[in-house]
Amino acid sequence: VSAEWNREAEIKFNTAIVHSLSIPTQWDESNGVYLGFDGHVHTKPDYMEHIYTDLSIWDIFRTQIPFIIFHDSQRANDIIHSIMLNVEQGGDLPKWPFANIYTNCMIGSHADIMLSDMIMKREHNIHLNMTQVIEALRKVANQVQKHDSRFDPPTYIKYQYVPYDMDSESASQTL
């Protein structure tokens, strides 16, 4: 590995940073209003700079989110608050919030991992109702959600795995 400065590598690196910060999408208007998961117009809380959506959580919880936490703590805090506003307005932790809807695509419940990681790393910077967070995490772990964030938790709890005859993605769902 060469420690020499490489202009081409620097350009690629900086381009990758810009691309990684182009999503999630800023969802609020310039006056702070946005369309919530309940279909109503809301005004973002004063402690947030922006509301974010289009979070492909399955794809970003291991890579982009840790980078955002490291690179831009305000954006990280806004993302975690945006997720909790999804819960408050829509009822469930999202799998992949897109605009103001639940897409229910991808398997698993990675929002709980992302949320827990962000809380552990930025707890001193966030204005979260921790009771609401714990309730959302408990719900995704133990109950069938309207927006299908995870395979049927009561069945998983009963068998300690996801049976193949109940879900063709049973191995991935179990893991």
Sequence-ordered list of residues with C-beta below 8 angstroms from that of 100, at least 6 positions apart, any chain: 27, 34, 35, 36, 37, 39, 53
**In 3-state terms, what secondary structure has residue 35?**
strand
Q: Would you write out the chain's pLDDT as a tens digit for each of its 175 residues? A: 455 678 888 999 899 989 888 889 999 999 999 999 999 999 999 999 999 999 888 888 888 888 888 888 889 889 999 999 999 999 888 888 888 877 777 777 788 888 888 888 765 556 788 888 889 888 878 777 776 656 667 777 788 888 888 777 777 777 6
Q: Which domains does the chain have, with CATH numbers?
A: 23-174 (1.20.1050.60)
| Distance from the first to the final alpha carbon of the chain | 36
**What's residue 168's pLDDT?**
74
pTM, rounded to two decimals: 0.81
Residue type, 7: R
